[in-house]
Amino acid sequence: MRNIFVARAFKEDANAQAWAFRESGVVELNYGFTSAAMIYATAFCQFYDALATTAKDVDFADDDTEVLLMILEEIENSAFTPILVAENSRNQWRESGRIYAAHPALLDLPQSRNEGDYHSFVSATEEFAIAHEICHHLLGHTGVTHRRRSQVNALVQERLDRSGAQEICSNLNPDQLQEIEADVGAFLLIAGELSGQATRGRIYRSLAGSMLALVTLGHISENWISREGPGETHPGFIDRFDVMSRIVREFTIPLTRGSIGDHPLGLLLQFQGFISIVLQFWMSRAKSEVKDPHFLNIFSWMMDQAVELEKELNSRHNTETSS
């Protein structure tokens, strides 16, 4: 990638963009995107901490219903407040052209999360945004000629085919399809698949960065649903998330569980819960018939999904062992 250059920008939208200059590719990452990534990383950390607290510390068999409800209300507030503050701040950010965290809920990490983990999370989100734009160059979308263009295109199309995501892509226009291809290429690039050096750690980093980047962009731009028409260049968040979820599943399902019983699909499930809350809050404000989410409902759904995932992973392990 010697002819691709990456730079920081401080004007225009909170996003990243790729463009060609002579025979070279240029990628610009706007600082507003980094600010937004920091905000949504905090929101996800608070949500994750609320999940962990509920799973470990809440005794649902407690006979004191009043105390139990008070505990659950406090947990729900800790999980939902950062999301609500970001939701309510979005119009101000868009009008001013600046994204910033002025509310304590967007600045304070849960006690269980250290600064190093948090900044690693933010940098993974930035990496995905940059990798997405780099892949526009690698895939030939910007007119830059790259020697690995055919190879990268083949790998991306193979993953789209194997994951079943082509049915979503068939409803998109050519520009929107290029965005999907760049998303997939970015995931594979960070995971190490494009260089043949994929590792478990890189896969986790690519998963976290891609999911947080997509929900950050979707929430800031309010581009949740794909719109038809030749002027629509980007698919909506829901389509992008659906495709990436399929890619992640197809890519990671063969992996065995880690030393503590972890699996990348467990992390994907956590993001599915987080994103469902963000979406439902947005929908409850866009449509009067949609109600605000309830943390306990989300938690219960995630526990059910975790049980099904455990069964599937055990079944795959038993099948592989017996064969």
Euclidean distance between CA atoms 215 and 208, whole angstroms = 11
Residue-wise pLDDT tens digits, 257-286? 999 999 999 999 999 999 999 999 988 988
Whether residue 248 contacts residue 267, with contact meaning beta carbons closer than 8 Å, is answered with no
The pLDDT value given to residue 117:
86
Q: Tell me the residue type at 5.
A: F
Strand 16-21 to 24-30 pairing? antiparallel
Residue 323 has what pLDDT?
64
Q: What is the DSSP letter of 105?
A: G
The Cα–Cα gap between 145 and 4 comes to 11
Query: Number of structural domains, the chain?
Result: 1
Residue 24, strand partner residues: 21
Which residues is 7 bridged to in the sheet? 28
Strands 24-30 and 4-9: parallel
**Is 289 within 8 Å of 243 (Cβ atoms)?**
no
* Residue reference for tokens 């025979």: 23
Q: What is the pLDDT of residues 97-144, one digit of tens each?
A: 789 888 888 988 888 888 888 999 999 999 999 999 999 999 999 887
* Rounded Cα distance, 185 and 128, in Å: 10
Residue-level pLDDT at 230: 67
Question: Using CA atoms, how far apart are residues 106 and 37, in angstroms rounded to an integer?
Answer: 11
- Give the CA radius of gyration of the chain: 20
Q: For the chain, how many residues are written?
A: 323
**Two structure tokens written together for 143:** 């007119």
Below-50 pLDDT ranges, the chain: none
Domain extent for 295: 4-322
